[in-house]
């Protein structure tokens, strides 16, 4: 089941639990605005080439729309739609005053030079500058984009609207980016894990972890779990997988990956088949890579007691059922990986105030938001007698529905 179908199904289940009016339910699913633009740029050799750029703005009942921009050859309107919708519920779960959006350009970033990427980003910004804005829609980096991409968008947008650092988040620190943003998603995953384990009278210290994906989110989560005394027994990424049943030395693995660009040939552990990571012996499994990795083929073999969804949509609905029958507790992506957008919100707040925070304050506020959201989800689980995924969806959907009704949606 693809991301759009799964998100819509979760939304419909939540709407049913909440007893939403069917007209309101339909209205909440339809995006506020979908934008599609042609971006033509000269390549370095002088030839002209055209790309298609998208922005889906899903809902703005609770505040400006917020979501990433991805540069990827398969930027599919359906997927962008699902991810925009997911951002609406995610910001509501985290209780930050945003709605959801998502965008992208169908291109292969590694086939473009830096100057071609800059021209493409600036043309895209020229086409959508009057549809984004500090109080309208605030983009952020996603797959294939980074802080430099945001710097170009900021510069191009500012040519039309004056200096506006709050128009994008995930910027370089020198242009108004926030301290702690780099580690935010991974750190949020760890705060979420701590909140969940505390419910069961456990803590990270001494538990065994398996982490799939060692990019930004996976490597930060691993580093912070290691610091808290968690034993990380397996790690994998696109290059391979490493296992060590006494716990991998994460700082050493990070050094090894930095120097060789790969997890292979690391002498602090044994190589293993990356596909076996998901069914490896551990207490907590953290998928931080792609969607749909837990499915009906492997769900029955999962040995973890807790799954923390750091990736977007790693568990498909069939696996969800198999795992919950086994008594595995799944902390849903819509909450687990909300650390990134929460610190993006802190960045936006700092830019608007023109007053920057130190990193301790950013991390302390992030912990407060993640912990509070967990308790709000637990309360919804009690009210509606449902699992954590439905607890999170009912929490998010209910907040958006209430805001929509209060604003008077039928007028």
Q: Domain residues of the chain, as ranges? A: 32-179, 183-331
Q: Which of 97, 7, 33 is nearest to 344 (CA)?
A: 97
CATH says 32-179 is which class? alpha beta
**What is the pLDDT, as a whole number, of residue 411?**
54
DSSP of 264-310: TT-TTSEEE-GGGGGGSS-SEEEE-S-TT-B-TTTGGG---SEEE--
Q: Report the pLDDT value the prediction gives residue 169, as an integer from 0 to 100.
A: 97
Contact 295, 318 (CB under 8 A): yes
Using CA atoms, how far residue 287 sits from 195, 304, 331, in Å, is 18, 12, 11
Q: How many residues does the chain have?
A: 411
66 is in an annotated binding site: yes
Residue 356 is given by DSSP the state P
DSSP E strands, 152-229: 208-212
Contact present, 97 and 66 (Cβ < 8 Å): no
For residue 1, the model assigns a pLDDT of 59
Query: What is the reported pLDDT for 77?
Result: 82
Evaluate whether 55 touches 39 at the Cβ level (below 8 Å). no
Position 40 scores a pLDDT of: 97
Q: What is the per-residue pLDDT for 254?
A: 94
| Predicted local distance difference test score (pLDDT) of residue 239 | 87
> Are domains 32-179 and 183-331 of this chain identical in fold?
yes
Rg of the Cα atoms in the chain: 21
pLDDT at site 391: 97
344 appears as a binding residue in the annotation: yes
Residue 46, Ramachandran bin (φ over 0: left; ψ between -120 and 50: alpha; else beta)? left
Q: Specify burial of residue 315 (Cβ count, 10 A radius: 0-12, 13-18, 19+).
A: buried
Q: Is 135 helix (H, G, I), strand (E, B) or coil?
A: coil
Structure tokens at 193: 């894990």
One of 23, 26, 36, 102 is an active-site residue; which one?
Answer: 102
pLDDT per position in the chain (411 positions), as tens?
Answer: 577 788 888 999 999 999 999 999 999 999 999 999 999 999 999 999 999 999 999 999 999 999 999 998 888 788 888 889 999 999 999 999 999 999 999 999 999 999 999 999 999 999 999 999 999 999 999 888 999 999 999 999 999 999 999 999 999 999 999 999 989 999 999 999 999 999 999 999 989 999 999 988 999 999 999 999 999 999 998 889 999 999 999 999 999 999 998 888 898 889 998 888 889 999 999 999 888 899 889 999 999 999 999 998 899 888 999 999 999 999 999 999 999 999 999 999 999 999 999 999 999 999 999 999 999 999 999 999 999 999 999 999 999 999 999 999 765
Query: How far is it, in rounded angstroms, from Cα 251 to Cα 249?
Result: 6
Q: What is the model's pTM?
A: 0.93
Q: Does domain 183-331 have CATH number 3.30.200.20?
A: no
- Is there a catalytic annotation at residue 36? no
């Amino acid at each position: 089941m693809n991301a759009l179908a799964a998100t819509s199904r979760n939304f419909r289940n939540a709407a049913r639990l909440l007893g939403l009016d069917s007209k309101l339910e339909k209205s909440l699913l339809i995006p506020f605005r979908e934008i599609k633009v042609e971006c033509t740029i000269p390549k370095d050799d002088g030839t002209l080439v055209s790309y298609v750029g998208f922005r889906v703005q899903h809902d703005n009942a609770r505040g400006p729309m917020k979501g990433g921009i991805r540069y990827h050859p398969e930027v599919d309107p359906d997927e962008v739609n699902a991810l925009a919708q997911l951002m609406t519920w995610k910001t509501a779960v985290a209780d930050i005053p945003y709605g959801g959006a998502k965008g992208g350009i169908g291109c292969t970033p590694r086939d473009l030079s830096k100057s071609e990427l800059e021209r493409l980003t600036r043309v895209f910004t020229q086409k959508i500058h009057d549809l984004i804005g500090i109080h309208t829609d605030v983009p952020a980096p996603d797959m294939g984009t980074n802080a430099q991409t945001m710097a170009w968008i900021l510069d191009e947008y500012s040519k039309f609207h004056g200096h506006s650092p709050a128009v994008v988040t995930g910027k370089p620190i020198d242009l108004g980016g926030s301290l702690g943003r780099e580690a935010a998603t991974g750190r949020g995953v760890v705060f979420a894990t701590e909140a969940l384990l505390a419910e069961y009278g456990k803590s990270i210290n001494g538990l065994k972890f398996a982490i799939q994906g060692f990019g930004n989110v996976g490597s930060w989560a691993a580093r912070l779990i290691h610091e808290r005394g968690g034993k990380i027994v397996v790690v994998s990424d696109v290059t391979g997988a490493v296992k060590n049943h006494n716990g991998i030395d994460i700082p050493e693995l990070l050094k090894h990956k930095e120097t060789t660009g790969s997890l292979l040939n690391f002498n602090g552990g044994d190589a293993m088949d990356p596909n076996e990571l998901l069914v490896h012996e551990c207490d907590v499994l953290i998928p931080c890579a792609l969607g749909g990795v837990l499915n009906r083929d492997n769900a029955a073999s999962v040995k973890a007691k807790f799954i923390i969804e750091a990736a977007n949509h790693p568990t498909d609905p069939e696996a969800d059922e198999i795992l919950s029958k086994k008594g595995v507790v799944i902390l849903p992506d819509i909450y687990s990986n909300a650390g990134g957008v929460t610190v993006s919100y802190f960045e936006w707040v700092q830019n608007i105030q023109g007053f920057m925070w130190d990193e301790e304050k950013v991390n302390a506020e992030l912990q407060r938001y993640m912990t509070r959201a967990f308790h709000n989800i637990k309360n919804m689980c009690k009210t509606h007698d449902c699992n954590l995924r439905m607890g999170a969806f009912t929490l998010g959907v209910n907040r958006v529905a209430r805001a929509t009704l209060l604003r008077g949606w039928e007028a």
